[in-house]
Amino acid sequence: MYEVSIREGCEADAKEAIEVLCRSIFELCEPDHNNDPDEISDWISNKTERAWTTWLARDDAAVYVAIKNNEIVGVGMVSEKGEVLLNYVSPDARFSGVSKAVLRTLEAYVRDKGANECFLESTVTAKKFYESFGYTSQKDGKLELRKSI
């Protein structure tokens, strides 16, 4: 684990943040997409700089970036209702505590907004990670997970 800081995302982060999202999907989520080009294309189709700007403009959600050595190494987004929309880590920072730090920040945002749970649709890759943080499956082992906060 190494020192990382979390801050709100801004427009200037777009290119680097989108690169982190796409690299994470390509390199870390193979159990989910099985290197199927169509599957990958669908998954990253909304991971664009234009989408980033739209995400930042939402009044009902927050976007965060994790920074290490002046580089973005993680990206998270959550709605005020508690839906975790993004939690991705750079492959170079995997297993270093970045995803944990981002998730803690997302959960804190939700608590500050008055919600009492977080929920998400996990990937196969990330399911054990979320379960280690107290998220539980809502439908017989499926990827829809929830946690009271």
107: CATH: 3.40.630.30
Residue 51 placed within a domain = yes
- Averaged pLDDT score across all residues of the chain: 93
Residue 141 placed within a domain = no
Residue 75 placed within a domain = yes
How many domains is the chain partitioned into structurally? 1
Inter-CA distances, 58 with 77, 78, 83, 99, Å: 11, 11, 14, 22
| pLDDT value, residue 36 | 82
Q: Whole domain around residue 66: which residue ranges? A: 5-115
Lowest model confidence (mean pLDDT) among 42-51, 83-92, 126-135, 136-145: 136-145
Integer Cα distance of 46 and 91 in angstroms: 20
Residue 122 placed within a domain = no
Q: What percent of the chain has pLDDT over 90?
A: 77
The residues, any chain, with a CB within 8 Å of residue 89's CB and separated by 6 or more, are 20, 24, 28, 66, 73, 74, 96, 98, 99, 102
Residue 12 placed within a domain = yes
